[in-house]
Amino acid sequence: MSFDIEIPNVTKFDLYTKEQLITQYHLVERELRLALKEINKLKQQNVTDTQLSLFMDEHIADLEEMVFSKSSEKYKKSDTPKDKKEPSLPRVRKPSERYPNLPVREVIVRPPHPPNCDCCGSQMSETELTEESEQINVIPKKFEIIRQQLVKYNCGSCHGHMVTTQAPVRIMEGSSYSDNMIIDVGLSKYCDLIPIERYSAIAARDGVVGLPANSLIECTHYLAQFVIGGFQRLEQEQKNESYLNFDETPHRMLEQHGDKSWYLWGFSSKKGVIFECHNTRSADVSSEILKNSKCSVIMSDAYTGYGKSVDEVNKQRLIDGLPLIAQSLCNAHARRNFFKRRAQPEAQKFIDEYVEIYKINSECKEKPQDEVFILRQKMRPHFETMKEMAQKQINHYSEKSKMFKAMNYFLTYYEGLTYCLKDPLVPLDNNSMESLLRNPVIGRKTWLGTHSEKGARTQTILFSLVQSCKLLRVNPRDYFPVLIQNIKNKQVPLTPYEYLQSLYI
């Protein structure tokens, strides 16, 4: 027996309701209208069919990038041979070997009663042998109350005078929070990026319920004001350096500042970083920094404000007979312009050249200056190849094209991008400064912004000191108690770099 079964030819449109079909139609109609509008604009600009095709391909690539791409800018050349050899697994080290500075507490583990022998049933006796294992343990934060009693003295001879022991100098006189507590609150926020409200919630789980967030925020203001001497010395330390990295990022002021845009500015050297918060992105900020510095080369992106600052300060230096400032530009920005177009074969060629440049740059680490200079000359052919490619291909693209803008950026700022070939002390890019800005940016997203100019000032002081410690691989929780004790003893407050040097004396 056979059955003739008719299978209906069903498409996805048959599954839509009338309302869904109408919605889909309107979406397609809107996209088509936008595409036609863009095509008409391009035709009015006398764009060729080839340029129009490139533009549309680029527009599609942008949409794919926005929807499907990862945020990482890692890239591997297509012709790079894959290493098929599986690496041998390293020996797993014990915790005491990985962390030799941690104290070790030995615990002898015995059963409640000695075991019986499986062979004869007799009770077994303890040997001197053990089987050893290690685990990393943590002791949760412990809160306590310090009841301070100031001893009083009187005169046993005349009984006419009494003296009370002078109270120790404190960060916040008369406060119910100890100095250790204030340091912990400040570093929890500006080092570990824990919002103050969350700090209060953590304390509540440890039994300290109801710590008012407002008073803890006030603690951070007092801490910043107490260590301002260290901040000022750090600021002067940076201005005495010959090479400075500059960058800025938007900063949100939450109250009573209208629509005025604020920015967090940063300038750094190998010894530390300084942040400043201003309600402008104008060149006046960087000009003021450079006027009072001994800087001879700055590293930055191609933001015109930095170029304007360099020109302004150089005019005055010419009058004063001082060395002029040179501007080196960040290659990571130039590479990023091509990386965003990496779906296009032309862009991949530029990225491949940058792969070779960064390979050479990795060989320069911890090498003396003369060797770095020789190695960097190997980068020159790769830069020249990109320049030649850009000059040949740029006219194939519309001026509105992202690929045109990437090539034009590279050609326009070629001199600044290749300045690192002249000076071995100048970095290839501005990634170090961008890394230093990462914590303030993450913090901005975590606690949304600052409520006042006082809060912005506190942020710049504490972030400057903390990020300088991180740059030098100094533990901020080791540095801050030393800095505060120096201030209490009326000694010169050490910068993070000076503190690091003191460890080796």
What is the length of the chain?
A: 505
Q: Which residues make beta-bridge pairs with 299?
A: 245, 328
> CA of 364: how far to CAs of 27, 272, 409, in Å?
54, 22, 26
Residue 474's pLDDT is what? 95
Tell me how far apart the alpha carbons of residues 175 and 167 are, in angstroms, rounded to a whole number.
13
Model confidence pLDDT, tens digit, residues 168-212: 889 998 889 999 999 999 999 999 999 999 999 999 998 899 999
Q: Which of 170, 248, 186 is nearest to 462 (CA)?
A: 186
> CA of 194: how far to CAs of 171, 198, 312, in Å?
21, 6, 41
Tell me how far apart the alpha carbons of residues 77 and 276 are, in angstroms, rounded to a whole number.
40
254, 450 contact by CB (below 8 A): yes
The residues, ordered by sequence, that sit 6+ positions from 278 with a Cβ below 8 Å of its Cβ are 262, 263, 265, 285
Assigned domain for 110 exists: no
Assigned domain for 404 exists: yes
Assigned domain for 388 exists: yes
Residue 65's pLDDT is what? 59
Count how many domains the chain has.
Answer: 1
Which residue range(s) make up the domain with 412? 331-429
350, 388 contact by CB (below 8 A): no
Q: H or E segment at 307?
A: helix 304-320
Tell me phi and psi for residue 484, to 5 degrees. -70, -35
Assigned domain for 76 exists: no
Question: Which tokens belong to 249?
Answer: 């990022």
Q: Model's pTM, two decimal places?
A: 0.79
Assigned domain for 357 exists: yes
Q: Which of 467, 466, 473 is nearest to 500 (CA)?
A: 473
75, 351 contact by CB (below 8 A): yes
Question: Which tokens belong to 14?
Answer: 């048959």
CB neighbours of residue 85 within 10 Å: 6
Assigned domain for 382 exists: yes
Q: Please list the pLDDT of the chain residue by residue as tens digits (505 residues).
A: 444 544 445 455 566 677 777 777 777 777 777 776 777 676 666 555 666 666 666 666 666 555 555 555 666 666 655 555 666 667 788 888 888 888 998 988 888 888 888 888 888 888 888 888 888 888 888 888 988 888 888 888 887 888 888 888 899 988 899 999 999 999 999 999 999 999 999 999 988 999 999 999 999 999 999 999 999 999 999 999 999 999 998 888 776 565 678 889 999 999 999 999 988 888 899 999 999 899 999 999 988 899 999 999 999 999 988 999 999 999 999 999 888 887 788 888 899 999 999 999 998 888 888 999 999 999 999 999 999 999 998 888 888 888 888 999 999 999 999 999 999 999 999 999 999 998 888 887 777 667 788 888 999 999 999 999 999 999 999 999 999 999 999 999 999 999 999 998 7
Assigned domain for 131 exists: no
Assigned domain for 169 exists: no
Tell me how far apart the alpha carbons of residues 444 and 54 are, in angstroms, rounded to a whole number.
39
Residue 13's pLDDT is what? 54
